[in-house]
Amino acid sequence: MKIGIFSILPDVIADPAIVARHAEELGFSSYWVPDHIILPSTYDTEYPGRGLEDEEPDYLWQMPDPMIALMRAASATSTLEIGTAVLLAGERHPLHLAKEVASLDSFSKGRFHFGIGAGWCREEAEILGVDFDHRWGQIKEAVKIMRSCWADPETEFHGKYYDFPAVRCYPKPHQKPNPPVYLPSIIVGGEWSQRVFKRIVQWGDGWLPVVADINQIAIGMRQMRDLANESGRSDKKILVNVLGGNGQWRTRKDIESFVDLEVDQVTLWLQSRDVDGIRKEMDKLAADLLA
């Protein structure tokens, strides 16, 4: 099983090149970053992290572009995998995003993992052209377009949200047919959303769950496998990368439990916000979990 790291604010103070290079030297498998293009100065949407934090954290509106941050990380490393956790896919045009993903995957020689989300802030999403009430329907169209761009000589599409004649979109990604597409989910009311699992089975490649209890992962994996079997996709490989919350999954016992579940990866949230602090934090994590 792989162990990755997640940097909440991969800015110049937590330089992705320095952090990623050190992570690779220590033996971590991957480096992941989040995404918000903008955040309105005022908005009415309730922040989903309320209750865990006293107020909206400042990093929500300070994040650099994830693709540029990951290109910097990829250029400083040779084997470390890179990923978005998660990029708000509906806030970009899929033709432009398809080219960015393919370029990053090509330059990194197939090290990119594409975690996507639909976002929680209505005002942010609508400023950037998202049909917020039907945002997953819009993203489904976008992913269909991107998959065609990554694999086909030409792409033509006529849908509800996107409509264009045949175009050529290059380069093609290094990974064939495409970098894996992950969808996130959290437990709500003690139950996993079956809609998320259906999306993963139908048009995704992987799952990025956030949980409070390791047993919730076992339940979710079983439910998703049942859905795959019911839909005739029993041979489908679904990658599972557990996203650790702030301070989660930092003991060897935690990691061994995920190994027993045959999880593909656990990604740990770095709590430090500057290079020196992150180096020390990763040194300790490596000594505790990778030695």
Q: What is the per-residue pLDDT across 169-213, written as a single tens digit (0 to 9) for each?
A: 999 999 999 999 999 999 988 899 999 999 999 999 999 999 999
Helices (H), 47-129: 66-75, 94-107, 122-127
Predicted pLDDT of residue 45: 95
Predicted pLDDT of residue 52: 56
In the block, which residue shows the tokens 């990778």? 290
Apex 100 CA angle, 94 and 105, nearest 5: 125
For residue 51, give every residue at least 6 positions away whose Cβ sits within 8 Å of its Cβ, in sequence order, or none: none
Strands 155-158 and 181-186: unpaired
pTM: 0.97
- The DSSP call for residue 43 is -
| pLDDT band (50, 70, 90) for residue 291 | confident
Q: Which amino acid is at 40?
A: P
Query: What domains does the chain contain, in order, with CATH numbers?
Result: 2-289 (3.20.20.30)
| pLDDT band (50, 70, 90) for residue 50 | low
Q: What does the mean pLDDT of the chain come to?
A: 96
For residue 100, give every residue at least 6 positions away whose Cβ sits within 8 Å of its Cβ, in sequence order, or none: 67, 92
Q: What is the per-residue pLDDT across 111-144, written as a single tens digit (0 to 9) for each?
A: 999 999 999 999 999 999 999 999 999 999 999 9
Of the ranges 108-117, 151-160, 188-197, 273-282, which one carries the lowest mean pLDDT score? 188-197
Percentage with pLDDT > 90 across the chain: 95
Burial class of residue 112 (count of CB atoms within 10 Å of its CB; 0-12, 13-18, 19+): buried
Asked if the model's pLDDT at residue 48 lies above 80, the reply is: yes
